Amino acid sequence: MRSVVGALLLVLAPALASAQSPSLQEALLRAKPAVALVISEVAGDVAVRCGAGAETTVTPAPFRETGTGWFIASSGWLITNGHVVSPAYRPPEWLVREQTQKAIKQVCGDRSGTGRARLEPSISVLIANGVRLPASVVKYSPPVAGEAMSGQDLALLKLEAADMPTLALADSAKTRIGDRMHIIGFPGVVLSHELLNSSAKMEASITSGAISGFKQDRANQPVIQTDAAAAWGNSGGPAVNDAGEVVGVLTFVTLSSDAQADIVQGFNFVIPAAAVVKFLEGTSVRRDEPSRFNAAWYAGLRDYFAGNHRRARAELAEANRLLPELPDVRRVTMENDERLKREPLLPWTWVAIGMLAVSATGWAVLLMRRRQRNRFRIPPAEVMRLVDGPDPPIILDVRASDAYARSPVRIPRSLHLPLDSLADGAATVPADPSRTVVAYCT
């Protein structure tokens, strides 16, 4: 019985292990829908006067900066960098001058002129399915190298949304040099790439590397160094471990010191998750908030990778209903449907395992019943040994009278007491508690 149970555990062990710890591919697919594109835009009108001429109102091309953010709670709470939203949250003076000069050049050309700008800043979040939602800044911490030396370069945004995909925070204190790290985001080089269509550009990209150091910024606050590649637009994106948990938030990418200021790869920095936890103190964010999308998406991926394609179909459909037309959900659903077409009507592997379990249980029950039935039975050789011993047993031949009369078999020194005579009290067993009693029947 133990060997059968052990065999079943060996068969089921891989499935149990995969259910407990998802593969890297599954973990990253879980994480991607929670990452969104953050757009800071400053538009507005500029009243321009060229020399002594009449005043003209023009609308120059808006200033736009993009970055990455990720949902920390399903009710529309999103984390990004402070410097990503800074132009729209607190428009700097240089931006006012730049928009004004742009309008003057548009109207006056090479002539001199004056202008008065009326800016209209806005922040929005573009989800991977193309839906654009307005967002407002609830909490803001400026970048260290910019507006304040003690800043953390974090911003908390609020959107009017529900059941959004979310990412969980890891314990960044447990990270070690060499741990794998994956940066998810929307680098500008992908957003503007001429080879990609519009839907592909809106799908988050992943770059991978490892933790290469633990440093401190200019305000003596901890940062994590990584060799994972990043570019403009990745700022604010989550850096996740192999389990898909957020280890930290990517901050400014590293630039060269020359005049061209090219991006230097292999030396990027991440704000640890512990700083995000501290940043969220005093806010209304509930990190344990349930997400129906997460529940459906995680279950669908788990069953998809486990080969349970029929069950995965309903779960993936629910995830698509809650947040329609996400690229990853759509792709996994299509692959699941294709595999479902090639899947046999019955899951023969599980049928075989079930039959093996039922068969093993049946044999175990039969063996237990036989053992229970034969617990007082002794073999003939043992009887002969007892008969020839110094203290022979009382041997009772309890066969029915007619069977006893017809049978040529007679046991030496036995006493014939039919069962029916014992049952109605016509005969009694010789009472000698010191001797063994052996009964014979057919």
CB neighbours (10 Å) of residue 180? 15
CB neighbours (10 Å) of residue 420? 12
Q: pLDDT tens digits for 246-282?
A: 999 998 776 555 544 456 667 789 999 999 999 999 9
Q: What percent of the chain has pLDDT over 70?
A: 85
- The β-bridge partners of 41 are 64, 122
Give the pLDDT band (50/70/90) at residue 348: confident
Q: Tell me the CATH architecture of domain 18-279.
A: Beta Barrel (2.40)
**CA pair distance 361, 383, nearest whole angstrom:** 34
Round the CA-based radius of gyration of the chain to a whole number and report it: 39
Q: List the single range of 18-27, 141-150, 239-248 with lowest mean pLDDT.
A: 141-150
The pTM of the whole model exceeds 0.75: no
Residues 6+ apart with CB under 8 A from 386: 392, 393, 436, 438
**Which has more confidence, 434 or 288?**
288
**Which has more confidence, 368 or 11?**
368
Q: pLDDT tens digits for 50-86?
A: 887 788 888 888 899 999 999 999 999 999 999 999 9
CB neighbours (10 Å) of residue 117? 21
Closest CA to 438 of 378, 364, 390, 355: 378
CB neighbours (10 Å) of residue 227? 16
**CA pair distance 358, 360, nearest whole angstrom:** 5
Instruction: Give the pLDDT confidence score for residue 322 in this predicted structure.
Output: 95
